[in-house]
Structures are given as structure tokens and as C-alpha cells.
Structure 1
């Protein structure tokens, strides 16, 4: 359904001395999602998760330059095609509730996303699934709680009939029951033939529903693993950062590693994780590793076995 190859994103800006600066925020990203599959994209803040979603949808700011390829249903996703199918064949559940129109009743906003069927009936069914009362449809966004706003955003995307659904942090603000219902809904959409990209900080929630986990670090996909690899001490994982991310969870070892994720304008020459990796060698510092297949997964690490 979706195939991303060699995707890089650069931003042109001017510094305080009015000199033009070119900053690469995503580099050499490879990722694919099949129909019926959920792929979770995880990583810390600033790793490029939302930028990846916006690149697929074609909603990056004007100073962004995109290189590489994005294919949807086997055809190149050009800017013209992105504009044509955005909201119909590809739908976004945005991270910010500010995407809701403050001047329109939320029921009408959900109804506008319906492409086939009775808009009012589909909106009612969606609200019922997420335990939103009928009268909420007449409310404006400012009357909603944070959790209710996210339920409306999820409803807007799921009634659209899109074949590729990109959910950018859809669960913050939801209680445990609502979060499970939302993730189960994604699973049902996938079982119905949709491809779902789930962008999240919550690895533990992701592995309950995703088929694969793509780990993003400093704008690079460092590993793509099956969800079953996130278990035990992380011994089935291939990349040092994936293991560190897993072991840092409170339910695991709650272990931190020294250092921090580098800023886009200060990336190291070689492997982006090398400055924080206890296994880094001279080779790691000199050139970035290629994404390669290891043990039924993919990893960007020269030493992974």
C-alpha cells in the first residue's frame, strides 16, 4: 500500500546573519506498509515522526525540500496526487486537537469527511463507538475535553473510508478503556484491508496492536522489528538504541543511557547513535551504516547479528 525509499527532508532557513542554512531533518528513510498491516513508528520527541507523516500527506511548509520516493498503491505520490487523495484515500489523525475547526460544530466536521454512505448515520455510529453522547455532535471544539477532542479526530479519520490511515499520537488524553477501543478500531480497519501507520511514544501500547515497529532516531529509521521482538530483556532486538528504548520503560529496567539525541544541525558524521553507543567503533564514527536485513528484521547497525 505504501512504499517509502531513500526519503530525505531538508529545510532552508536564514540564520541571524541572514545566511542561508540548509538543515536535514529526515535522511534516507525506508519504510513499507502493506494492506491489512499496522506499522508503529516510535521514537523520542524530535526524531522526525510527525515530519514523516506530513511528508506522506504533502503538508510540509514551503521551505521544505523532499527527495527520495513515496509510492501509494504502486504509483508515485506526487504533490498533485497527494492533494487529490488527501482526506479521501489517505487520512490523518493529527497530533494536535487544534486541527479541529473552532467555528464548526464537531458533528458537522465528522460528517464532512464521509465519502460514501449517510454522513449523519456514520457520524452517529462513530460517536457511539467512542462513547460520545449524541448531543456532543452539536458542540464546538472549545466545549470538548482533551480526550473528547481526540475521539472526534479519530472519528473524522475512520469515517472517511481511507485506505491508508496515519494516526499521529492518537491515544494521549484517553483513559485506558478508550485507548484500548481506539487501538482495537485500528486493528479492525487493518483487518478490513486498510494500511495503518501508528505514530506513538507508547511502545507498550504499540506492541498490543502493531505488526511491525519502526524505530526512529535523529531522523533515521534505525530498526524495523516484529512486535514479538519487544519482549524480555530486548535480546531479540538488533539495534542498541531499540534495546535502550525498551529497557528505559518503567515496566522494564527503567534504565537511562548517557547523552541525548543530536539536533538536526549537529548530526555526527557516521552513525547517528555512535556518540551514545557503548559498542561504537572507529568504523561507526566514519560512515553511516546502511539499512540491512538481520534475523527477519531490518537494522541500521554495522555490528548487529
Structure 2
């Protein structure tokens, strides 16, 4: 069942150049994806491809110079700024990339309790979830600076868990973790889906995504180029649909370790047609005419006129 739907969504930022000339840089364009209850959709792509920006757009925390178009629907209704404010931290929760999201002046137990539903015993719920994440009771009286990195991440996970949110957005929650802690963190994220939440797992690490996700959405230059079941990421990538996804897969060290020629375009210099065309070995003159639409191909979705 679809919980959150992003349809033809775009984000641009107003900037001023010399002489106070106003320009709009399109950072996300024509983006489409759907989050389903009990499922994890992993968002992968290079830095600057728009992954975290999408999370901020869903939460309604974009900076003031941002302009958006298209729609975001939550449970079938448009997610207006007023609804975003009302739902943020309650029905739509964020597991952020940085532990700096914790208030340095508040004990972590109190911080977690603020996300507990009003009708519940906040202290009891907080202590139960701390026990679940192997955080001792004395941890609740600590301040963020007193926590190890692993403890701080578990506090952030606790905050999302006690909210009972229908949508969990985990934004790069595993960078810099050793293998044991990373395995634990990924298991914790999988738990959100197993209890019925729709999860968006943002990462640059395809290997991590494959361990817990149901589908993977591949971002390039601010748009989705492919959404595929995790089972398609195998062997030489024969089951994948988009040339960029295949190249990304083959660039991994455990595969062919073949680098992708060229660089991703800057938002101010996007090509008129397919955004990947300047780097694509399959590009034809048609690819430069207009941006391809997302379409269904072999139980997945792809933005490429050559995919079959």
C-alpha cells in the first residue's frame, strides 16, 4: 500500500549573480517515487544527486530561497506546508546523518520522550526502547557529548521508533561505522519496515542498500533514472535497465571496477535531453531532444528510451 508518493517533483534555488541578476538553479527535476508500508526503498546516487534534498523537501525544511513544483502526497492527500509541520516528527520521522541533530543542552532521555505520543507513558516508552537498543537506563540522564558515536546513533533511532511514524527517512545513517556497528544499524532500520512503516533509506553505498532494501531508486543529477528490485543487482547487471545504473554497478570494486567516464552535470549546466546522455555509450541524437519519461520495464521503472 502506497503511503507517500512523489510525482513529477522539482526543486530549484533562487540565486543572484553579478549585477543582481536573478537565476534559478534546478537541483531536482521531474522526480518520481513511491514509499509503501512495510517496504524499504533505498535511494542511491553520487554526492549532489539530490538524495538528501528530497528528504528535506518531504519534511518541509528546505531553505527559504527554494522553489518547488509537482506534488508530494501522504496517504493520498497533498502534503501542504501546514500538513508537513503537523506531521513532522510524528507521522513522518527523520533518522538524520549527523548526531549534531541532538540538542546539546538537553538530556537524551528527555529528547526521546518529546517524540512519544501524548496518550502514552513517555518515560516508560523511552526506557523500553532504550532497553531494546541496549542503552543502559543511566544513559537517559546523559547529554549528547557524553555518548559514543554508536550510542548517539541508537538514541536517534530511538527517537524515530517511539514516534510510531508511518514514514521513516534514514538519511545516510551508517557512514564511518565499523562493520559490526553498521550491521546493527542496518538491522535497526530494517525493523522499522518489519513493524509496518514505509522506509526511505538514503545512502551512497549500494552494498548496504542490498542488505536491507526491497527496491533501489537510482538518482542522477537530481532525478530518478531507475527503480529496480534488489534482485536485479547481480552478476554483470544484465537485469538492470538504465545505462547509468549498469555503469554504477560495474564500477564497484567487487565487480569490474570500471570507472564511469565524465562527470555529473552541475545544476546550472543541465543538458536539454537525457541528463546522462553526454556520458552514455548508447546515446543517439534522439536522447538530446527531450528528457525521457519514467516508464515501466520488466517489473521496474526507468527513464531511458533505449531500455527494454
Q: How high is the TM-score relative to the length of structure 1?
A: 0.95
Judge conservation of contact 2:96–2:171 (CA < 8 Å) in 1: yes
**How far has the Cα of 1:177 moved from its partner?**
2.8
Write the distance in 2 (CA, Å) between the matches of 1:255 and 1:142: 42
* Structure 1 match to 2:113: 111
1:187 is aligned, of 187, 190, 200, to: 190
* Structure 1 match to 2:201: 198
Write the distance in 1 (CA, Å) between the matches of 2:43 and 2:267: 19
Judge conservation of contact 1:12–1:20 (CA < 8 Å) in 2: yes
**How far has the Cα of 1:149 moved from its partner?**
2.3
**How far has the Cα of 1:189 moved from its partner?**
2.3
Write the distance in 2 (CA, Å) between the matches of 1:174 and 1:160: 25
- 1:120 to 1:142, Cα distance in 2 relative to 1, 3 A: same
Write the distance in 1 (CA, Å) between the matches of 2:125 and 2:183: 21
**How far has the Cα of 1:191 moved from its partner?**
2.5
Write the distance in 1 (CA, Å) between the matches of 2:140 and 2:234: 42
RMSD: 1.5
Moved over 6 A (4+): none
Q: Provide structure 1 residue ranges, at least 5 long, that are not aligned to the other structure.
A: none
Alignment of 1:169 onto 2:167:
no
Alignment of 1:131 onto 2:167:
no
Judge conservation of contact 2:40–2:199 (CA < 8 Å) in 1: yes
Alignment of 1:269 onto 2:272:
yes
2:263 is aligned, of 260, 263, 281, to: 260
Judge conservation of contact 1:11–1:25 (CA < 8 Å) in 2: yes
* Structure 2 match to 1:88: 90
SS state of the match for residue 60, structure 1? coil
* Structure 2 match to 1:4: 6
* Structure 2 match to 1:242: 245
Write the distance in 1 (CA, Å) between the matches of 2:6 and 2:165: 19
Write the distance in 1 (CA, Å) between the matches of 2:251 and 2:130: 36
